[in-house]
Amino acid sequence: MSIVPISPLEYGRLRDAIRERFGIYFDDGKQFLLQSRLQSRLPKVRATTFEEYAQYLQASPDREREWDELACVLSNNETYFFRERAQLDVLASEVLDEALKSGGRLRVWSSACSTGEEPYTISMMLAETHRISPASLTINATDLSPRALEKAKTAFYRELSFRATPVEMVQRYFRPFEGGFFINDEIKRLVSFSRINLLDAAAVAAMGVHDAIFCRNVLIYFDKPTQKRVVEAFAKALRPGGYLFLGHAESIMRITDLYEPVVTPKAIYYRRK
Ligand SMILES: C[S@@+](CC[C@H](N)C(=O)[O-])C[C@H]1O[C@@H](n2cnc3c(N)ncnc32)[C@H](O)[C@@H]1O
């Protein structure tokens, strides 16, 4: 297949449309990356140039279906069980303690859950504590990518997803099947999946109020104004004092004053003021 060239004008138009829709930002050095990710989409909508493709995204009656495809093609879905474990330990101790003291319900949201490893890890870690019943626990899990969510709901995983998983957790919570593993129903049942674009502030607020939100390893793909917009929308979906967990490479210290940073020797997180 020959490579379709992309002009600076076409690149600017497409990356602005993508940033506006999904928040994902391709800076000046990422032209080749965007070009290679979109390349295979052009023939699918019978576009021969990136200009035609940009027009299709803007004006075709079928454009929403193509945007759904883009949500899958553009996102980096890299994730694994027990990733950045120290924050999960904070959830299973401090956050759970507080919830049990004040009414006994715990509501957690994994807001860019990709293929499901993060919310299922939350589910396993809370099950391990034997301190909260399924009826008192809500674990919401959302993502932008329909394909990632399909995989999450299937709950079948191969070796790479287990790179940080203790062996006894695999033995306890998974069953082997044809070179991979299905997660057990008791863990799966605790997680509710749905599709949410984090730029949609109304949809974020409609998720209801949580004790903790995980938004890890997604803000790095957004520019600063979009990061601010997303974390400020989260303030409506968190109780006062609620916890916000971001990825290691992500910081909102100079972006918003709605949260108090908490820095411990093992984990950094934020609490809603
Ligand atoms: C690298 S994964 C992170 C998965 C998990 N949170 C972790 O830390 O392992 C990033 C995810 O963010 C999702 N994403 C990107 N833009 C998004 C948006 N605007 N709204 C919701 N999810 C988005 C992608 O689809 C992708 O699954």
77 alpha carbon to ligand 1 midpoint, in Å?
6
Residues 57, 13 share a domain? yes
Q: What is the pTM for the complete model shown? A: 0.97
114 alpha carbon to ligand 1 midpoint, in Å?
5
Per-residue pLDDT tens over the stretch 16-71: 999 999 999 999 999 999 999 999 999 999 999 999 999 999 999 999 999 999 99
Residues 60, 112 share a domain? no
Range of the domain at 32: 8-74
Residues 58, 149 share a domain? no
- Mean pLDDT for 251-256 is 95
Mutation to probe ligand 1, out of 73, 121, 143 (largest number of atoms < 8 A from CB): 143
- Mean pLDDT for 114-133 is 98
Exposure letters 183-215 (e unless 16+ CB within 10 A, then b):
bbeebbebbebeebbbbebebbeebeebbbbbb
The pLDDT score that the predictor gives to residue 2 is 79
Strand order in the sheet with 174-177: 156-157, 180-183, 174-177
**Is residue 80 included in any domain, yes or no?**
no
- Mean pLDDT for 233-256 is 96
Reported as a pLDDT band with limits 50, 70 and 90, residue 108 is: very high
Residues 131, 48 share a domain? no
**Is residue 207 included in any domain, yes or no?**
yes
The pLDDT score that the predictor gives to residue 1 is 62
Spot the catalytic one: 143, 211, 216, 272: 143
Residues 106, 16 share a domain? no
Catalytic status, residue 37: yes
Average of per-residue pLDDT values in the chain: 97
Mutation to probe ligand 1, out of 144, 218, 220, 227 (largest number of atoms < 8 A from CB): 218
Say how many domains are in the chain: 2
Catalytic status, residue 185: no
Residues 42, 17 share a domain? yes
